[in-house]
Amino acid sequence: MTIDATTPEAKITRWRKVVAAEPANRVARMRLAECLAAAGQEAELIALADQTASHNPGLTEAVLDIACLGLPQAPRLALAACRLADSLHPPPTRHLRWLLAHRRFPDHAEIAAGYAAARAIMAEGTTPRTAPPGGESPGFSDQMQYWRQARELHPDKREYFLGYVECLTRHHRFTEAIAELTAAGAAGDPGLLELLAIVAEQAWDWPLARQCLASLVRASPDRADLAARLVTADREIAAAAARRLPQGRIIPPPATLPKAADAQALHDLLRQFESLGANCEFGLLQRRFGVEPLGLLRFAATRPRTLLILLRSEFEGVGDPAAMTLLTNPRDFRLRHESSRLTLHTRLRPGPDTEPQAVFARQCRHITFLRGKLLRALREARKIFVYFRPRLADTDIDDIYAGLATYGPNRLLCLRLADAAHPPGFVEWRTPRLMIGAIDRQGRGNEEAGWDISVPYWAYFCHLARQMG
C-alpha cells in the first residue's frame, strides 16, 4: 500500500480514507495514528482510539502506544492508555502502566487516583495472569518497532526506555524485560528496582520479586503496599518449596493395562494435558480414552528446534495463508508453516470431489483459531504440556521449558526412551514444574490397524505429573 503525500494534512486525509474503506486494516490504523501524533492532534488520536475499540481492543492499545510515543507530554493519552490497560490486563501489568503515567504526570489528579487504586489492588495480593482477549497481541511488532526506534533516536530519554520495557511486559516478554532492567542498573536505582519487582511478580519469578521488594521495603519502610507484596512473595516461595518433589526417584510402574473401571479416571486425567507435538502418540492415547481436545499441535510433527522457534515467536504466521503451504499426501492433506517447517495433519483425504484451495482456506481459518486457543492456554498456565521424543537431549528439554516459562508458570512433562542409565519408569523432577521420564517404548502402528501404545507407562507418568505445582 503506497500513500503518495508530501504534507502531514494530506497524509492524514489519505490514511483516513483507507481506514474508512478498510476498517479492519491494522496497518492503516497504525499509520494514521503515527501521522496524527506527528501533527500533534491529541483529540483526533483519542477519537481514533475510541473508534478502534469497537473493532479490536488490543489494536486500540497499539494506537495509544503510538500516540503516547508521539505526544509524550499529553496526559489525556496516558490516562486513556491506563484505563484501557485496566480492562485488558491483570493487576501487575496495570500497576506498571499507572506507575509510569504517574511518574510522568505526578500532579494529574485522575492519574494519581488511578495509580493509588492500582497500588491498593497489588497490596491485596497478586492474582494469576490471564491472556489478552483472543490469546494474541495485536500490533505487537509495530509497537516494538516504534519503541526501539525511539530508544535509538533518543538514548538519553528515560521515558522511551521505560515505555519499551512496559510494552515487553504487557505482551508477556518477561525474560526480555527483566534483562533490560537488569542491564540498566536496576539494583542501584530505586525507580527501576520497583519496575523490576513488578515484572518479576508478573513473571512468577518470586525469588527475584522478593529480592527487589526487600530492598524497597528497607528504603521505604512506610510503604504498606510494598510490605504486603513482600508477604505475598514469601508465601509463594514457601508454597513452591512445599510442592517440590524429590529428584531422580524411580518407582515401579503398573504392570498391566488399566482395567475398564479405571477408564473414566484416566479419561479425566488426560483432559488436564495438552500435547506439544513431536508425533501423534499422546493425541492417540487421549483418543483411546475418549478425550478429543482441539489442539494446534495434537497431531503435529515438531522437532525441538521447530517448537522453540514457534514458542519464541508466539507462533507468528501459523494459520496465515501467506505463510502456509498445502501438501497433498495419499492419506490426508497437510499444511506446512514454511518459516518453522511445522507440519499439521488435516485428517481430510484427497478425492475427486475435494477442492484443494477450499480445503486450504478453511484449514487456515481453523489453524488460526487453534493458535489463539494455544496461546491462551500458555498464558493461563492451567494445562500440563507434554512432549515425547525418543532421543531428546537435556539442552532441548531446558530450552523448551524456558520457552514455556516466558508465557507463565507452565508445567512440562517430557518423555524419552529408556536407556541403560535411565530404566523404564525413571523419573527426574528437574524443577517443581518440569518432570522428565523414561518410557519403555515408542508407540507403533497406523490408524487403520490401530496403535500399540504403552498405556501403563503413560498413565503412570501422567499421574505423577499431576503432582507438579
- Report residue 134's pLDDT band, with 50, 70 and 90 as the boundaries: very low
Region 365-370 average pLDDT = 93
pLDDT for position 57 = 61
Strand partners, 337: 324, 342
pLDDT reading at 2 higher than 50: no
pLDDT for position 127 = 45
pLDDT tens-digit readout, 18-48: 888 887 777 777 778 878 887 888 888 888 8
pLDDT tens-digit readout, 292-302: 999 999 988 88
Query: Rounded distance, CA 237 to CA 217, Å?
Result: 18
Region 122-142 average pLDDT = 49
pLDDT tens-digit readout, 163-214: 788 878 776 677 788 889 999 888 899 889 998 998 888 777 889 999 999 9
Q: Which residue has the higher pLDDT, 382 or 23?
A: 382
Cell output for 455: 498405556
- Report residue 236's pLDDT band, with 50, 70 and 90 as the boundaries: confident
Question: Is the four-CA dihedral 337, 380, 369, 84 of positive or negative sign?
Answer: negative
Q: Which residue has the higher pLDDT, 205 or 257?
A: 205
pLDDT for position 247 = 53
**Alpha carbon distances (Å) from 196 to 183, 203, 205, 450, 465:** 11, 10, 11, 52, 32
- Report residue 261's pLDDT band, with 50, 70 and 90 as the boundaries: very low
pLDDT reading at 246 higher than 70: no
pLDDT reading at 305 higher than 50: yes
Sheet holding 384-388, edge to edge: 273-275, 384-388, 411-417, 434-439, 427-431
Decide if 225 contacts 244 (C-beta within 8 A): no
Domain annotation for the chain: domains and CATH numbers: 8-241 (1.25.40), 260-465 (no CATH)
Write the Ramachandran bin of 322: left for phi over 0, alpha for psi from -120 to 50, otherwise beta. alpha
pLDDT reading at 260 higher than 60: no
Strand partners, 336: 325, 343
pLDDT for position 450 = 65
pLDDT for position 428 = 86
Region 10-25 average pLDDT = 82
pLDDT for position 378 = 92
> CB neighbours (10 Å) of residue 438?
20
